[in-house]
Chains A and B, each alone.
Chain A
């Protein structure tokens, strides 16, 4: 009954819009089976968490009131008075963190499997942009409860932008909506977080997913060199998608556990006339940059230490984004390829700085 109704609708649409290209796009993709196949699931996990972000974010919007005198109070209202408000906020905060985590995992797995290589250069670039926006989402959303930690994180984060030569001060002024971090900054961050970023994110995400669907899954070198009869695949739809859904359920269970047992603290309200509390730290995904800035002396070469640090991270980020276009060729005799070495060094640096940031 249901199937016949489904096919009737499908036929009705097909007759008018010719669904064969869409059908082909969905069914043509197959997923290679090998020892590294598990990494294929990371992007889907990040996508699932993004969907949760959109749903819980929209729900929070119904009660949240931006403004120096209302933001903190409205978040407190959400978590103390609104039924299950605490749960929605906890899920939103935790899924944001998990999303960034899975995006990082996805990026490094793509890197080490060398899936960024021709013809998937733009999939890599759009993916990197999505990571950048995801971190921007984290940064802008962090301020919205207008608590002490958020206030200083935003002060530091926007001041960093001001360090950029020539245009930095102007961008900082526009981001803050004035000289200092005030209610004007909160309004701007709110607009950026709920309107500007979702719009840009959705467009780039659409492109990213289209590229993946169009080009199919990347096959690692070891797999693609196998004789055809030894290559094993499963269809993307529905087999892989169902496996994806299973992982989504596991992540959902983990998310529920974290949201229930590790509530996201609100902390004290922001006060521009109180000193930054000792031990203040940014979100874990900014910790490696934070820790590096801590170690830099006040002057490096001919410039301020902070300017050096910020230029370093920006240039490094740009190079990382353009990696598919950089001609570091594989060396046939080498056990570990140069790009893999670079990736390992980057990963070690990021993990070491993050751990140091946590323990010091």
Chain B
């Protein structure tokens, strides 16, 4: 089937149009895409003294740019968990009365080990390793 002159020109101009569109949009999208973070990845953080940390309490620690919740149970054991709720990204809190972790945004409940118990959170909170060295609390990423 012979290609008419008009059809040929239509295709040619159409291809040129698409090419131009791609040439416009690619730089725009690249510009809008944020640069990857250049901050060094943090693997260990010191979080104060164990003796100064009251039992049945919690504190949010800066783990690089990430918030980590450090909890001391009533029996004096430490646990550290990523403080960002697995549901929709809010920062969780430790409830002294129920001894559970609550995300106030949508009422998500986790236990002290980070296991999601009720509400919308689909996954447990990621755990960190906590060691007490010479009374100093050291939180470390768990390498899986």
Contacts and interface: CB of A to CB of B under 8 A. Distances in A.
* A, B from the same assembly: yes
A69 interface: no
Contact of A275 (B92, B106, B107): B92
User: On chain A, which size bracket covers the interface?
Assistant: 20 to 34
Contact of A156 (B37, B88, B92): B88
Contacts of A275: 60, 69, 83, 90-93, 104
A279 B93 CA distance: 13
A270 to B, nearest CB: 11
Nearest to B66: A180
A294 interface: yes
A296 B62 CA distance: 31
B64 to A, nearest CB: 11
Interface in B102-118: 102-107, 116
A117 B91 CA distance: 46
Interface string A129-168: 0000000000000000000000010011011100000000
A274 B90 CA distance: 10
Interface stretch (A14-22, A28-36, A72-80, A171-179): A171-179
Interface of A: 152, 155-156, 158-160, 170, 173-174, 176-180, 184, 272-280, 290, 293-294, 296-299, 304-306
Contacts of A180: 65
Q: 3 smallest A-B Cβ distances: which pairs?
A: A275-B93, A159-B89, A276-B90
Given A159-B89, A294-B120, 7 more contacts: A155-B89, A155-B90, A273-B67, A277-B104, A293-B106, A299-B122, A305-B120
Contact of B120 (A173, A279, A293): A293
B120 A177 contact: no
A298 B33 contact: no
A176 B103 CA distance: 21
A170 B30 CA distance: 11
B113 to A, nearest CB: 17
Nearest to A277: B104
Contacts of B121: 298
Interface string B8-28: 000000000000000000000
B60 A276 contact: no
B32 interface: yes
Interface string B78-106: 00000100011111110000000011111
